[in-house]
Amino acid sequence: MTEALARAMPLQGVAGGLLIGVSSALMLLGLGRIAGVSGLIARAVGLARAASFDQVAVAFIIGLLTGAFVFSRLFGPVESNYPESTKALLLAGLLVGFGSRLASGCTSGHGICGVSRLSVRSIAATATFIVFGAITAALMRALGITQ
């Protein structure tokens, strides 16, 4: 655990959190829409119920990708550790997608936008995300899948 703390980047985390909060607030105050990434992706590719082309969703997703690209060019790549198994990654992606649909939103929609609006449903969903994320991380560590 101390090795992870030695590699922690608290200033970058605070800056990222502020940018996420500001972008979510601007979208809600400026457009009256929630900045839930799973819903935005669904609308951007036409999978949402409204199935019509959504320029705001496309612009938001392009902005996320562009922001990550610019950050990596300015500060170097972000270290990430994923299981090497393509099957495990595909299964994880499917489970996250299923969970997002089941919960009517993802961590960004519920955890950032919903909790800040004191939505009981979002608070319950976020608590569930956190509990099961901790359980999954503990199981993966116990099984030797991650460190």
pLDDT tens readout for residues 91-103: 988 888 888 888 8
Tokens of 75: 């500060």
Check residues 55 and 82 and name the one with the higher pLDDT.
55
- Tracing tokens 């902005």 back to the chain, one arrives at 63
Tokens of 130: 């956190």
pLDDT tens readout for residues 56-69: 889 989 998 998 89
Check residues 125 and 108 and name the one with the higher pLDDT.
125
| CA proximity to 96, closest of 129, 119, 138, 122 | 129
- Where along the chain do its domains lie? 1-80, 82-147
